[in-house]
Homo-oligomer: A and B are copies of this chain.
Amino acid sequence: MTAALRAAVVGTGYWGPNLARNLRSSADWELAAICDLNLDRARKVAGRDAGVRVVQQLDDVLADDSIDAVVVATPAGTHADIAMQVLESGRHALVEKPLASSYAEAAKLVQRAEQLGLVLMCDHTYCYTPAVQKIAQLVADGELGDIQFVDSMRLNLGIVQQDVDVMWDLAPHDLSILDVVLPPEAHWTGVAAHGADPIGAGHACVAYLTLPLASGAIAHTHVNWLSPTKIRTMVIGGTRRTLVFDDLNPQQRLSIYDRGVDLSTAGDSAEQTWAARVSYRLGDMVAPALPEREALGAVVTEFAAAIREGRPPRTDGRSGLRVLEVLEAATRSLATGGALLPVGGDK
């Protein structure tokens, strides 16, 4: 076993302590330092472990030569600035989502990390859940066939944010999942957004994103802060099978249906042959067993592996960039009544 990598966690709000806990319990990592302007909170996260330094300033972290990597869990508005300092100091960076507040800032981070040969990873935690990892594998293995449509829903009586609309609050989850699940040749090529602000929050509280895919298929996401019932589903229809992911059903998160419509292309299209051309598969459904484990554990494992193997992590800076590109385009689309705007061209 190689020696553990040494990490500092910057920011001890809601998510930082979870990242610290997972670093601490990982064989790949040694938790070296906790940094927060609020020293009391930092001390509490560090606990009694004498090996963990508690510091107030990022500079104190970066001055410590023993540190290999920095985990950035500060407020979103500070991500770009802190991550850039981390990279400039020669450290690898794992950044809580979103990677930055804007596409432009995030693009600079990605470019700089590539220039410096450092790992820049985006903490798209959902992508590391057993369910999403299984979905990605099923798609990659061709078990679903070519993707025909993706429909996802993320609704609940959610916390209405003051600073961001419901798309920026919830859609990153769906988009980051799509980003790891869709094969590159079937990725999104545009986005159209519709929404409403029926409660007067100043921005959309209900929104629909439509994303045409390069293959001619379609992806669609419904995000909603106003629903009385909680829904978190994603349906992925394929030429071979269709998968239903219900994240709120712990007893049956994934259901894979051998059900679908097949349209034979052979023969002419005269009316009498339509019925002969269309056939319906009505096969079994399988709900695969999934391991129970914390997604964040897999996040820190992947971060270490990418550093050691000198390769981009599964959710690298570019994945964060792709998500931000869609969100920015969706914002413009929403402002113009739902125009379809191109995204993904530079991939």
Residues on B with C-beta less than 8 A from A285 are 228, 252, 286-287, 289
In the complex, what's the smallest C-beta–C-beta distance from A328 to chain B, in angstroms?
18
Q: Quick check: B261 and A225 within 8 Å, CB to CB?
A: yes
Q: Quick check: B218 and A195 within 8 Å, CB to CB?
A: yes
Q: Quick check: A257 and B228 within 8 Å, CB to CB?
A: yes
**Copies of this chain in the oligomer:** 4
Which segment of A12-20, A21-29, A65-73, A274-282 sits at the interface?
A274-282
Which segment of A3-11, A81-89, A122-130, A196-204 sits at the interface?
A196-204
Residues on B with C-beta less than 8 A from A230 are 251
In the complex, what's the smallest C-beta–C-beta distance from A130 to chain B, in angstroms?
12
**With A148-B199, A265-B200 as contacts: A157 and B227 at CB distance below 8 Å:** no
In the complex, what's the smallest C-beta–C-beta distance from A73 to chain B, in angstroms?
22
Measured as residues with beta carbon below 8 angstroms from the partner, the interface class of chain A is 35 or more
Residues on B with C-beta less than 8 A from A258 are 289
Q: Quick check: B160 and A226 within 8 Å, CB to CB?
A: no
Closest residue to A200 on the B side, CB-wise?
Answer: B263
Residues on B with C-beta less than 8 A from A289 are 258-259, 282-285
- Indicate whether A52 reaches chain B with its CB closer than 8 angstroms: no
Taking a contact as CB atoms closer than 8 A, the residue among B224, B228, B261 that contacts A160 in the complex is: B261
Q: How far is the CA of A259 from the CA of B260 in the complex (A)?
A: 28
- Indicate whether A338 reaches chain B with its CB closer than 8 angstroms: yes
In the complex, what's the smallest C-beta–C-beta distance from A286 to chain B, in angstroms?
5
Q: How far is the CA of A161 from the CA of B262 in the complex (A)?
A: 13
- Indicate whether A210 reaches chain B with its CB closer than 8 angstroms: yes
Closest residue to A280 on the B side, CB-wise?
Answer: B157
Residues on B with C-beta less than 8 A from A197 are 216
**With A235-B227, A338-B340 as contacts: A217 and B198 at CB distance below 8 Å:** yes
Interchain Cβ contacts under 8 Å between A and B, 12 examples: A148-B196, A148-B206, A157-B261, A157-B280, A160-B261, A192-B337, A194-B220, A226-B261, A230-B251, A258-B289, A283-B289, A286-B287
Enumerate chain A interface residues (CB-CB to B < 8 A). 146, 148-149, 151, 157, 160, 162, 192, 194-202, 205-206, 208, 210, 212, 215-218, 220, 222, 224-230, 235, 237, 239, 242, 244, 251-252, 255, 257-263, 265, 269, 271, 274, 278, 280, 282-289, 337-340
Please give me the 3 A-B residue pairs with the lowest Cβ-Cβ distance, nearest first: A148-B198, A228-B257, A196-B218
